[in-house]
Amino acid sequence: MRDGILHCYNAPAIEFSGNWNIWCLNGVKVSKEIVETPAHKLDPELILNGKNVEVRREIVRKIGIEKICQKLQTKTIDTWGDYELLELPQLDDMRIKPIYLKMKNPSIGVYHMEGVPPNIKTCKQALAWRCDEKNDYIEPIKLT
């Protein structure tokens, strides 16, 4: 446990009898592979295949956003403040190259990435899409 949440960076967060365990990072249930594999040996493509945004965030947190971008050979499409629109490599089973918005969470100071539609060309378009805004991104007065 860390700060009252389930967390163990290299072993199960909870061990039960009968060889049944639960692995958690920062309160997020993840696979044994993610917890027990050293960061430098984790495959960055895990973030492309994962459907749970919290699990992807923990993978990014463990490996590091810069290492993920470097290993996946991302291409920067646009930048704006703490935001970066990235094109990731096209995997064999994908019809198009995935586009992700890299952003810094102002509450906890951690970067994470979120997939956006392939027609997005700017960070502001990606932010407008995330906020369900029809036209342009309306910048908030204050981020919390």
pLDDT tens column, 58-95: 998 899 888 888 888 899 999 998 899 999 877 656 66
For residue 13, give its domain range. Answer: 1-36
Identify whether residues 12 and 43 lie together within a single domain. no
- 59 and 114 fall within a common domain: yes
Whose CA is closest to 63, among 93, 43, 91? 43
- Cα 110 to the chain's mean position, in Å? 10
Strands (DSSP E) contained in 3-44 are: 14-16, 20-25, 28-30
Residue 135 lies in a domain: no
Q: Is there a single domain that holds both residue 14 and residue 51?
A: no
Q: Are residues 60 and 118 in the same domain?
A: yes
Q: Helices (DSSP H) in the chain: which residue ranges?
A: 32-36, 46-49, 53-63, 65-71, 123-130
- Over its C-alpha atoms, the chain yields an Rg (Å, rounded) of 17
Per-residue confidence (pLDDT) for residue 68, from 0 to 100: 84
pLDDT digit string (tens) for the chain, length 144 residues = 778 899 999 999 999 998 899 999 999 999 999 999 999 999 888 877 777 888 988 998 899 888 888 888 899 999 998 899 999 877 656 667 789 899 888 778 878 888 899 999 999 999 999 888 776 777 776 765
Q: What is the DSSP letter of 121?
A: -
Residue 90 belongs to some domain of the structure: yes
**Short-list 54, 32, 49, CA closest to 110:** 54
**16, 30: one domain:** yes
Total count of domains within the chain: 2
Strands 75-80 and 99-105 turn out to be unpaired
Instruction: Return the structure tokens found at 25.
Output: 């990072």
On whether the CB atoms of residues 82 and 126 are closer than 8 A, the answer is: no
